[in-house]
Every structure is written in structure tokens, then in C-alpha cells.
Homo-oligomer: A and B are copies of this chain.
Amino acid sequence: MVQGKKRTQRTTRRSRLKHAGDTPISLGPLAGWVGFRLRMAQEASFEAFSRLSREIGENPGRFATLTLIGQNPGISQSRLGQAAGRDKSSLTPVLDDLVERGLVARSRTDSDRRTYRLTLTAAGVKALARLMDCARRHERNLDRAIGPRDRARFLAVLKRLAAIG
């Protein structure tokens, strides 16, 4: 229990893009499919961001959580879960970790003593700022691959895809 407390440094997938293999492998119909290419692109992007955030000693998975709390101070854990598309029980260890490391404060409200109000501490604001730097660098790298001409259109397509049933 409370597994989220242990912070490991080597969740990486260093071996991910090893030597591309002797003989090229046939991808068959996969090669032209959006679903497949979407997954590959997302994995590459996540991997690159992980690397950057690990350089500053942060966990890429915490970034979205810190951002959402910073952007919506006083948000409850359940609301946060909804926004991130995760069950509230999944957030308990994440927040335990962030609180223990002094980045997030949980405070009870008077009106409804069941819920917590989540806010960033000063250290949390700082950590988020560092992660934002990483994210900006990361976005610049992605933009370079996308090309300035295609960016807006690409982003619009991604938004439409995220909304499919």
C-alpha cells in the first residue's frame, strides 16, 4: 500500500528505440493507419518529455496534476479525477506523494467537511515552473518536427480525435 510514495528513477524505456534491426520488418497495413501512428508518436513524445523532466528530478506524470491544481486552486480530488479522466482512488497515492514532498496542500473546507481543497504550495509553484520550462522546450522540439505551417491544423485534428466516442 501507498506504493506511489516510492519514487523510482528508472521507469524509463532506454531500450525502446534500440538498433533499428538488421533486416527491416514489414509493418504491413499498420504502416498507413492513424491509430498505429498515433500511438508511436505519443510514445515518442512522452518518452522525450520524460527525459527532460527527469533531468530536473520530476515525474512527468505529476505535471498534469500540478498544472490542473495550479490552474484551478481549491479543486477537490474527485473533480481533479474527472478532469484527468481517472478514478478518484487512482489519485490518492499521487496526491499522497505530492503532499509528502510539500508541493501540494490539502485543506478541509468548513462548508463540506468531506472534501479537500487542493492548492499548490510555494514549492509546488516552483516545481511547476520548472516543469513548465521542460514542457516549453519539449513543445519547441515537437514544433520543429511538425513544421510551423502544419501546427494549427494538426492541433485541431488532435482535438477532434480526442472527442470521438
Contacts and interface: CB of A to CB of B under 8 A. Distances in A.
Contact of A146 (B82, B139, B160): B160
A46 B41 CA distance: 13
B139 A33 contact: yes
Contact of A28 (B15, B40, B67): B67
A4 interface: no
Contact of A142 (B19, B35, B45): B35
Given A35-B142, A64-B36, A164-B145, A157 B154 contact: yes
Interface in A20-57: 20-21, 25-30, 32-46, 48-49
A102 to B, nearest CB: 22
A71 interface: yes
B82 A37 contact: no
Main secondary structure on A side of the interface with B: helix
Nearest to A39: B42
B161 A41 contact: yes
A7 interface: no
Given A28-B68, A34-B139, A37-B162, 10 more contacts: A19-B82, A29-B135, A30-B68, A37-B155, A39-B46, A43-B85, A44-B161, A145-B157, A146-B161, A154-B154
Interface of A: 13, 15-21, 25-30, 32-46, 48-49, 64, 67-68, 70-72, 75, 79, 82-83, 85, 87, 132, 135, 138-139, 141-143, 145-147, 150-151, 153-155, 157-165
